[in-house]
Each structure stands twice: as structure tokens, then as C-alpha cells.
């Protein structure tokens, strides 16, 4: 399967790209939407690229890049009564919710705001720019990926020198 690309939302107050930089790898836990669940379980694969999106932020936007390092597996936080993501209806013998593991790749020197995405030619059909689209795990096309990475790296170039990145 060729490498594919995704956008995943996280509230930076809960878990930000800087948290992922520190942790290096994280479980993408707590997704409780069936459409997103299906992507995590069936579509997203090791090696795929992830745009790390800060939602409910000021401003919201793409903060950096991660990569998938573990395919979908049951989200154990659903089984934990102490977890904020606890779901008593998820049975360990037939898990309802899934997660993947992602690893830090890079943080953009400056966030690419949603408003910029909405104004950028070539991103007209990008899911995150659509009004009313709340899906927290979304597919991204190869071309959208290319454009957003260029925006993120260019944004940094205008403000501060960017250290050599591995990719």
C-alpha cells in the first residue's frame, strides 16, 4: 500500500505537538466517532504521514508533522473507568474503539492557521477547510500534504531560521 496522508486533530491544551516532541511517540487515544474509528482501524497504516492539527486553539491550524508507527489496535482507555475516555459499551472481547501510535517528525516553526488553509489555492477541497466538518481524523491528498508542508516550512523561514530537518 502506498503511503497515505491524514490530518488528526488534538486540542493543544490537552496534547500538543510539543507534547509529542517530548514524548516522541504517543497513543492516539480517545477517538469516539465511528467514521474516524473506521479510518484508524482499517485504513491508516505504519509509515503514513500525519498533519498534527491544533483544534480549539487561538488560532486553530496545522502545528507540525507526525508519522504512523503502529497500525490500529483496541483503544484500552475505553475499558478504564478512571479514564476520561471510558466507554462502558466497549467490550474488551469486541472492542468498539481503536487507536494508532504516532511518532514526532517535526514541529513547524510557525503554525499554519486554518484561515491560511482556507485561502490557499489547491486546498479548496481539503476536508478541514469545509464548514461544519468536525471529523477528528481526516484523509489528506498527496497534493494537499505537499502544499501544507511547504506552507509550514515557509512560515518558519520568514520568522526564524529552521534547523535542518530529517525530511
Instruction: Point out which residues bind DNA (CB under 7 A).
Output: 9, 11, 32-35, 55-60, 89, 114-115, 128, 131-136
Cβ within 8 Å of residue 99, ≥6 positions away? 27, 28, 29, 30, 31, 40, 72, 73, 74, 75
Query: 133-157 as b/e, with b when 16 or more CB fall inside 10 Å?
Result: eebbbbebeeebbebbbebbbebbe
The distance of closest approach from Cβ of residue 52 to DNA in the complex, given in angstroms and rounded to an integer, is 13
| C-beta closer to DNA: residue 115 or 160 | 115
The distance of closest approach from Cβ of residue 2 to DNA in the complex, given in angstroms and rounded to an integer, is 27
| C-beta closer to DNA: residue 87 or 141 | 87
| C-beta closer to DNA: residue 11 or 45 | 11
The distance of closest approach from Cβ of residue 35 to DNA in the complex, given in angstroms and rounded to an integer, is 7
Q: Can you read off the three cell numbers belonging to residue 74?
A: 483496541
Amino acid at each position: 500500500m502506498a503511503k497515505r496522508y491524514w490530518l488528526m486533530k488534538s486540542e493543544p491544551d490537552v496534547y500538543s505537538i510539543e507534547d509529542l516532541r517530548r514524548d516522541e511517540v504517543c497513543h492516539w487515544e480517545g477517538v469516539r466517532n465511528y467514521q474516524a474509528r473506521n479510518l484508524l482501524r482499517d485504513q491508516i497504516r505504519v509509515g503514513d504521514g500525519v498533519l498534527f492539527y491544533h483544534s480549539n486553539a487561538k488560532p486553530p491550524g496545522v502545528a507540525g508533522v507526525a508519522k504512523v508507527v503502529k497500525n490500529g489496535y483496541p483503544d484500552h482507555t475505553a475499558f478504564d473507568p478512571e479514564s476520561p475516555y471510558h466507554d462502558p459499551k466497549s467490550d474488551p472481547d469486541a472492542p468498539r474503539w481503536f487507536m494508532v501510535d504516532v511518532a514526532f517528525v517535526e514541529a513547524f516553526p510557525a503554525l499554519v492557521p486554518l484561515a491560511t488553509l482556507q485561502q490557499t489555492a489547491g486546498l479548496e477541497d481539503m476536508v478541514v477547510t469545509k464548514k461544519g466538518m468536525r471529523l477528528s481524523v481526516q484523509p489528506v491528498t498527496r497534493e494537499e500534504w505537499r502544499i501544507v508542508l511547504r506552507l509550514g516550512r515557509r512560515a518558519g523561514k520568514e520568522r526564524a531560521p529552521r534547523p535542518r530537518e530529517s525530511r
